[in-house]
Amino acid sequence: MKLMNSILIISYFEAVPKSGVSVRIFEMAKNLALLGNKVFLIAPRNDKDQVRFNNLHIINFKPKRYLKTLFNMYYLLKIGHQITKKHKIDVIISAHLWSLLPALILKKVYSRKLVLDEHNVEFVRAIRMKNFKRVIFSFILEKGLANFSDSILTVSLLDKRALGNLGIPVDKVHIIPNGADTKKLHPNIDASSIRRKYNVESDPVVLFMGKLDYKPNLEALELLFHKIIPNVLQQIPNCKFLIVGMNPPVHLKHKSVLYTGYVKDVAEYIAAADVAIAPILSGSGTRLKILEYMAIGKPVISTRLGAEGIVVENGKNIVLADGMNKISSQVIKLILDANLRNRIGKKARELVVKKYDWNSIMEVLDREVIKSF
């Protein structure tokens, strides 16, 4: 067993803490480097902000506005070839199904071990989102090409079983869940400046967070505006709804809703909330936003699908509710009961620290997958 491996991570997506897929890629690269591995990360990047760690070498290329998929694949393969040839790479990680094709070519040319990180089972996600063109494409990739990987990572047991149903041997599938940075995200964050900024010092605040043009999040926002907000305001007229994330929809507006747009650091915004919600009805994988809410000690109300893949206990460390009337009732109940909010938030934090801390998760990846080759 090598104490230090040279790892090449290739990503079709930006590897910055902006959205779920980017956060997982960034945390994987960062924590594998902090564990002593030499990590090379190739990813597209539009801005010049950069995070540096010892042993982590980030190589960015500027994405094209036209023929994006073709150019991304070209640059991933070209730069991946240069790095693999120059450095003694031990393991290649395809940081998403969409990065798999160039990763497979590099594996074939250089005879290196290949790990595929499945953020979602894309075939399942496409069915739930009723994107039938992507259903066919995802099925071909996951059933036809994913099996050429030496190891496949999923975020939950449900996803592992779904890949097994596609005919992929389950002994090559490892569960590496999503997580949260529990040192950065904690209950003692001062949110007073955010509450002042939005003039909600004395108002109860409900939080929803995500990339707002992503279909499952936009779907959730529609339900929030048309069902949850009217129900809650009938009982708590001064309640405010803080919506954090890029690309807010212009057609959804309300005097009690506060859009922040993209924020670089979400911690203070989560800390400013009394209750966090995830009324998700489609998509797959696990929702990083829920783990981040919980890490900061916020009580979370989610649909069962929204919390899918996270090992939670309803009523203890989360509130699960299906149906917008039930979600509305639980929002009202939590806002009016500070002791209940605090009790569920405390247990939520304990769960994330114990089972979903990024550093601990990546220690398992390093020990049980990377160093097992």
Domains 6-179+357-372 and 192-355 share a fold: yes
Give the helix, strand, coil percentages of the chain, each rounded to 5: 45, 15, 40
**Of 94, 173, 154, 165, which is closest to residue 127 (Cα–Cα)?**
165
What is the pLDDT averaged over residues 254-278? 95
Q: Is the pLDDT of residue 272 over 70?
A: yes
Q: Is the pLDDT of residue 282 over 60?
A: yes
Which range among 39-48, 64-73, 356-365 has the greatest average pLDDT? 356-365
Q: Which residue has the higher pLDDT, 123 or 357?
A: 357
**How does pLDDT run across 51-92, given as a tens digit for each residue?**
667 789 999 898 887 888 889 999 999 999 999 999 989 999
pLDDT bucket at 31, cuts 50 / 70 / 90: very high
Please state which of the ranges 52-56, 161-165, 225-229, 271-275 shows the lowest mean pLDDT.
52-56
Q: Which residue has the higher pLDDT, 309 or 235?
A: 235
SS3 63: coil
Q: Under 8 Å CB-to-CB from 247, ≥6 apart: which residues? A: 211, 212, 213
Q: Which residue has the higher pLDDT, 47 or 7?
A: 7
Distance CA 314, CA 325 (A): 17
**Of 186, 194, 208, 344, which is closest to residue 276 (Cα–Cα)?**
208
**How does pLDDT run across 326-341, given as a tens digit for each residue?**
999 999 999 999 999 9
**What pLDDT is stored for residue 19 in this prediction?**
63
Q: Which residue has the higher pLDDT, 63 or 348?
A: 348
Q: For domain 6-179+357-372, give the CATH number.
A: 3.40.50.2000
What is the pLDDT averaged over residues 357-361? 96
Q: Is the pLDDT of residue 285 over 60?
A: no
**What pLDDT is stored for residue 22 in this prediction?**
86
**What pLDDT is stored for residue 1 in this prediction?**
55
**What pLDDT is stored for residue 226 in this prediction?**
93
pLDDT bucket at 49, cuts 50 / 70 / 90: low
Q: Is the pLDDT of residue 229 over 80?
A: yes
Mean pLDDT of the chain: 91
**What pLDDT is stored for residue 122 in this prediction?**
76
Q: Is the pLDDT of residue 190 over 60?
A: yes
What residue ranges do the domains of the chain occupy?
Answer: 6-179+357-372, 192-355
**How does pLDDT run across 95-121, given as a tens digit for each residue?**
988 899 999 999 999 999 999 999 888
Q: How many CB atoms lie within 10 A of CB 234?
A: 10
What is the pLDDT averaged over residues 41-51? 73
Burial class (CB within 10 angstroms; exposed 0-12, middle 13-18, buried 19+) of 218: middle
Find the angle CA(351)-CA(357)-CA(362) to the nearest 5 degrees. Answer: 140
**How does pLDDT run across 349-358, given as a tens digit for each residue?**
999 999 999 9
Q: For domain 192-355, give the CATH number.
A: 3.40.50.2000
Q: What is the pTM of this model?
A: 0.90
Q: Name the amino acid, one letter, at 351.
A: L
What is the pLDDT averaged over residues 296-316? 94
Q: Is the pLDDT of residue 147 over 60?
A: yes
Residue 239: phi and psi, rounded to 5, are -65, 140
Q: Is the pLDDT of residue 240 over 90?
A: yes
**What pLDDT is stored for residue 47 in this prediction?**
59
Distance CA 238, CA 357 (A): 35
